[in-house]
Amino acid sequence: MKLTILASGSKGNASLIEFKSSKYLIDCGLTYRQLKLRLEKQNKNLDNFSGIFLTHEHRDHVSGLRVLLNQYQVPIFLSEGTYKGLDKRFTGEIDLKLINILKEEDIIAFKEFSLMPFNTYHDALEPFGYKFIEGDKSFVYLTDTGYFPLRKYDLIKNASAYMIESNYEAELLLESERPWMLKRRILDDTGHLSNEDSANVLLDLIGDNTKTIILAHLSEDCNLPSVARATYNICFNAKNKVLDNYNLIIAKQHQSLNEIII
């Protein structure tokens, strides 16, 4: 299993996940031009790609769909709520034959991997995170969530790799010039995870199989990679864990990252 993060943040999200002979997009919040450019920088392309997994209907996750679907008529996998919430300005008229509605926690067997969608907690209609399983490897994609409930932890524990949002540093958000209503939205249980909350959730999830941690969806004005890393380090030290034992990667908004092997 290989992951190439093309963009992560409030201005657009997209990643390419590859298996032995198939590849899929996770979200499509980039223009088609940017999608191609960022893939080309990593010596990749969308030739014969197999489909798209959507996490939710917000613009920064779907804005490139309409043009992409004009080029590639591929299956789209999503929740019923996300499907109902799609804005036709970004998607156009999607052929119903392409729509594949997923159910929370139903494990779907594809040719080379299995997929388990799970609910996240965000101000969208029915947002999903995804757990991908290939052989003895697993990858959890968990972004855009204000919290994650303890009762659900067993679903995604001890994965080989996690991509989890670490959206903001609380002090930077509260002292920012953002309107108070926006601050409250972000701080809410259906908003986003702070650096500290993200680290504490992950500390309860990681296990002996976990090798890679990817911090995603960092705010450009209420966070910094160095701040996110420092907060993670403090939280890990408090639980007698060594952050340097893991391959910690911070996803970027404006450039793709090198391929990550899971």
Beta strands in 161-237 (DSSP E): 161-165, 212-216
Report the 10 Å Cβ neighbour count for 96.
7
Residue 139 has a pLDDT of: 98
What average pLDDT does the chain have? 95
Alpha carbons 113 and 137: distance in angstroms, whole number: 10
How much is the pLDDT for 176?
75
In the chain, what are the domains? 2-261 (3.60.15.10)
In sequence order, the 6+-apart residues with CB closer than 8 A to the CB of 122 are 56, 144, 145, 146, 190, 191, 192
* 183-186 own/partner pairs: CB under 8 Å, 24+ apart: 185/123, 186/222
Amino acid identity at 261: I
> For residues 116 and 174, which has the higher predicted lDDT (pLDDT)?
116
Mean per-residue pLDDT, 52-77: 96
pLDDT attached to residue 68 = 96
The letter for the amino acid at 53 is F
pTM listed for this prediction: 0.96
In the predicted structure, residue 187 carries a pLDDT above the cut 80: no
119 vs 79: CA distance, rounded Å: 9
Angle between helices 225-238 and 195-205 (to 10 degrees): 50
